[in-house]
Structure 1
Amino acid sequence: MLKILRFLFAIITASFGLYALLSDDFRYAPLMLLFMGGTMLVMGIEEYKNNKKVSASCLVGACLFVFYTSFDTMLHW
């Protein structure tokens, strides 16, 4: 289930990034960051399940930072 969720979030993130790159329209960047944070959160959960607690902590910390950035950008949208 986590692999499917990670793959889905990664595809959505890549789609928003590709759209922004090809059209020079960056108004969907906060959504791209939101899905990238979701990808990192799922990866952190997977690492925690594999008993790699240091890398899991780094991924969850980065996820929280990306979520904060995404929500802050959405508030000033």
Structure 2
Amino acid sequence: MLKILPIAFAIIAISLSTYGLITRDYQLNFLMIFFLGLSMLTLGIREFQSKRKAYGLFLIGVFFFSTYASIQSFIWR
């Protein structure tokens, strides 16, 4: 399950970024950042399970920052 989710979240994020680049409509960037953050969260959980805590903490920190940036972008647009 934790092998499929990061790939699915990354595909969604790449699709949203490709859509934004092709149409020059950047209103969905907050969703792209959010799905990249979810991908980082699942990777961080997987790193914790494989006993690499420093890298897992870093990835979970990236998740929190990207979620904050995504919510901030959604509120202030």
Interval of TM-score (by shorter of Structure 1 and Structure 2): over 0.9
Aligned counterpart, 2:3? 3
- Within the alignment, does 1:16 sit opposite 2:23 as a pair? no
Structure 1 unmatched runs, 5+: none
TM-score, normalization by structure 2: 0.96
Deviation at 1:12, TM superposition (A): 0.2
Q: Aligned pair 1:51/2:31, yes or no?
A: no
With normalisation by structure 1, the TM-score equals 0.96
**Alignment RMSD (CA, Å):** 0.7
1:53-74: CA deviation from partner (whole Å, max 9, x where unpaired): 0100110001100000000111
Correspondence 1:76 to 2:76? yes
Q: Is 2:67 the partner of 1:67?
A: yes
Q: Across the two proteins, how many residue pairs are aligned to each other?
A: 77
Aligned partner of 1:26 in structure 2 is 26
Aligned-partner Cα distance in 1 for 2:9–2:56: 18
Q: Distance in 1 between the 2:21 and 2:53 partners?
A: 35
Structure 1 segments (4+ residues) deviating >3 Å: none
